[in-house]
Structures are given as C-alpha cells and as structure tokens.
C-alpha cells in the first residue's frame, strides 16, 4: 500500500523534507494534493481531513503522512516514523531519538527561515511586513545562519565514523534534510551563502554527495521536484539578502 503525503500544492515547502526521504528509499507514495481533484485527491481531499470531516485524526497543519489508518503530522515526527522502515534511521530507539534531536534543530532553523519573510504574521502578505522582514533577515544572515550551519559542521566533524554523515556510518533522513537546507539557503540568500564551501567544507561535501545519489539525482531531474519559488519557505527576495561579514 502506498503512503499518502499531504502538503500544499505548488511549493516544495516543508513537504520536501519528507519527499526526499520517500524518493531516496524509492517508496511508493501519492502526493495527494498534486493529484486530480474529484478522484479522492487534490487539495480538497486534504481539507476534508484538516477540517475534521473524516474518520482520521485531525492535524493542525500540513505536511502529514497517511499510512493506512494512521495520520502522522509534523516533519520531524513523520521522518522519525518512516526512518527505520525506509532504511534511513538506526533501529535502536535511543539512537533514533538522537537523530530526531538533529531533525528538530532543522525544524527550528526552518521556522526562522520562514520568519525572515513573515516576521510579524503568517496570515499577512510579505509586502505588508517588508520593513520588519529586513531587520529580521539581517539578524538571520549575520548570526543565525552561522550559528546553525556552524553547529551542523561541528557535528559532522565530531562524528566518530567520519564526516560523511551527520550520524553513524550511513545515510539518514537528516543528511537528506541538510541537503535541502543547504539548497534552500543558497536559493534564498545567494549573497550571504556565497562562501559556504570555504566556511563549511563537511556540509558542502555532504550536500554534493546527497545530490549525486541515484534516486535523489533522478528525483531532482523529475517534474516532481518543483523549483523553489516565492510561495514556499525558502524565498529569494534580493532586498533581504546581503554579504556575510
Ligand atoms: N511543525 C510543523 C509546522 C507545520 C507548518 O507550519 N505548516 C505550514 C505549511 S509549511 C502551514 O500550513 N501552517 C499553517 C498554520 O500555521 O496556520 C512541521 O514541522 O511540520
């Protein structure tokens, strides 16, 4: 039976972290909102569950994964659920929680990326909070990108199995998510991230290695990979970008 991924159509957004894991594992899944309306798919099918008009648990926000009768919300939670089955997480429970801690740090980072263009209200347009966005993005570029990426670089450096992976000696879903963060930050802040390779060599090598994995490379070439755009989490607004000190 296929997994069902529910996420807003037209953007990579937070759904992309889950897609990358499903694609790497070549798992059968339906991207429900991208399917035909009227055949149990499309955004209306998601809204039925979101609005509590189905027999399933009602999630607060997408993405969520449906596996049979289970609805699993929140990116990190979905990945923790899928990880062992997809071969992208250790089987041992304690280690799975360590991995989840890393993914939750990515959740925090993603929330801060979102807040660079929506610092005041998620319900308002970017154009209605541009001044505040400038201040927020400036702080993000100056202090938060170095703090988050510096942290992940150090975790790679300290991995007793070597810096090829963020945890243990094999690929995990966190490696895939770090690839996505690296891609997204470079799209949103090309000036600020101009020298990532020099500053964060292990992260840069991880990004390159993930991009070359056969299933990921195939996915990136496919039309399932929607280009970044200004409706997603990682948005490129030149006025929010600047050179890093
Ligand atoms: N912690 C959740 C955040 C989910 C989330 O914020 N989803 C966004 C789309 S990317 C949304 O639709 N939010 C609606 C809202 O917050 O009202 C996760 O990591 O999945």
User: Best substitution site from 58, 62, 106, 231 to test ligand 1's pocket, by max atoms within 8 Å of Cβ?
Assistant: 62
User: Best substitution site from 13, 51, 61 to test ligand 1's pocket, by max atoms within 8 Å of Cβ?
Assistant: 61
Q: State mean pLDDT over 35-50.
A: 94
Q: State mean pLDDT over 186-192.
A: 98
135-144: pLDDT as tens digits:
999 999 999 9
**pLDDT for residue 217:** 98
Whether 88 contacts 177, CB under 8 Å: no
Task: Provide DSSP, 33-45.
Answer: GGS-BTTTBSHHH
**pLDDT for residue 236:** 98
Distance between CA atoms of residues 21 and 18, nearest Å: 5
The two three-digit tokens of residue 217, written as one number: 């490379």
Distance between CA atoms of residues 203 and 205, nearest Å: 5
* DSSP annotation of 56: S
Q: State mean pLDDT over 147-153.
A: 98
Helical spans, DSSP H, in 159-213: 173-188, 196-199, 201-212
Q: For tokens 């409706």, what's the residue? A: 231
Helices 173-188, 201-212: axis angle to 10 degrees equals 110
Q: How confident is the model at residue 1 (pLDDT cuts 50, 70, 90)?
A: confident
76-131: pLDDT as tens digits:
999 999 999 999 999 999 999 999 999 999 999 999 999 999 999 999 999 999 99
Nearest alpha carbon, ligand 1 atom 18: 74
**pLDDT for residue 39:** 82
Nearest alpha carbon, ligand 1 atom 1: 74
Distance between CA atoms of residues 188 and 128, nearest Å: 19
| 3-state secondary structure (DSSP) of residue 131 | helix
Q: How confident is the model at residue 245 (pLDDT cuts 50, 70, 90)?
A: confident
| 3-state secondary structure (DSSP) of residue 72 | strand
Q: For tokens 């089955």, what's the residue? A: 85
Instruction: For the chain, give the mean pLDDT.
Output: 97
Ligand 1 mean position, distance from CA 197 (Å): 30
Ligand 1 mean position, distance from CA 245 (Å): 32
**pLDDT surpassing 90 at residue 244:** no
175-205 burial, b at 16+ Cβ within 10 Å, e below that, comes to bbbbbbbbbbbbbbbeebbeebeebbebbee
Among 228, 226, 232, smallest CA distance to 126 is for 232
Domains and CATH numbers, the chain: 3-86 (3.40.30.10), 93-240 (1.20.1050.10)
Supply φ then ψ for residue 6, to 5 degrees: -110, 120
Nearest alpha carbon, ligand 1 atom 12: 61
Among 146, 152, 242, 227, smallest CA distance to 190 is for 242
Q: How confident is the model at residue 194 (pLDDT cuts 50, 70, 90)?
A: very high
201-225: pLDDT as tens digits:
999 999 999 999 999 999 999 999 9
Pocket, ligand 1, Cβ cutoff 6 A? 13-14, 61-63, 74-75, 107, 122
Residues of the chain with pLDDT > 70: what percent? 100
7-25: pLDDT as tens digits:
999 999 999 999 999 999 9
Nearest alpha carbon, ligand 1 atom 15: 61
pTM above 0.75, yes or no: yes
Ligand 1 mean position, distance from CA 13 (Å): 9
Q: How far is CA 186 from CA 46, 95, 139, 231, in A?
A: 31, 30, 17, 16
């Amino acid at each position: 039976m296929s997994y069902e991924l529910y996420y807003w159509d037209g953007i990579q957004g937070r759904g992309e972290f889950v897609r990358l894991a499903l694609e790497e594992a070549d798992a059968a899944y339906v991207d429900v909102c991208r399917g035909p309306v009227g055949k149990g798919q499309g955004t209306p099918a998601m809204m039925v569950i979101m609005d509590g008009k189905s027999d399933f648990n009602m999630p607060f926000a997408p993405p969520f994964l449906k596996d049979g009768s289970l609805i699993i919300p929140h990116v990190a939670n979905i990945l923790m659920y899928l990880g062992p089955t997809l071969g992208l997480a250790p089987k041992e429970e304690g280690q799975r929680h360590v991995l989840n801690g890393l993914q939750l740090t990515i959740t925090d980072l993603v929330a801060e990326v979102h807040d660079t263009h929506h610092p005041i209200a998620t319900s308002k347009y970017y154009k209605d909070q541009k001044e505040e966005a400038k201040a927020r993005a400036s702080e993000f570029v100056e202090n938060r990108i170095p703090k988050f990426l510096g942290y992940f670089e150090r975790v790679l450096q300290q991995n007793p199995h070597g810096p090829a992976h963020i945890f243990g000696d094999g690929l995990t879903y966190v490696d895939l998510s770090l690839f996505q963060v690296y891609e997204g930050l470079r799209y949103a802040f090309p000036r600020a991230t101009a020298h990532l390779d020099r500053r964060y060599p292990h992260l840069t090598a991880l990004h390159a290695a993930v991009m070359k994995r056969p299933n990921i490379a195939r996915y990136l070439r496919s039309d399932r990979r929607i280009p970044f755009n200004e409706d997603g989490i990682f948005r490129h607004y030149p006025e929010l970008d600047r050179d890093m000190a």
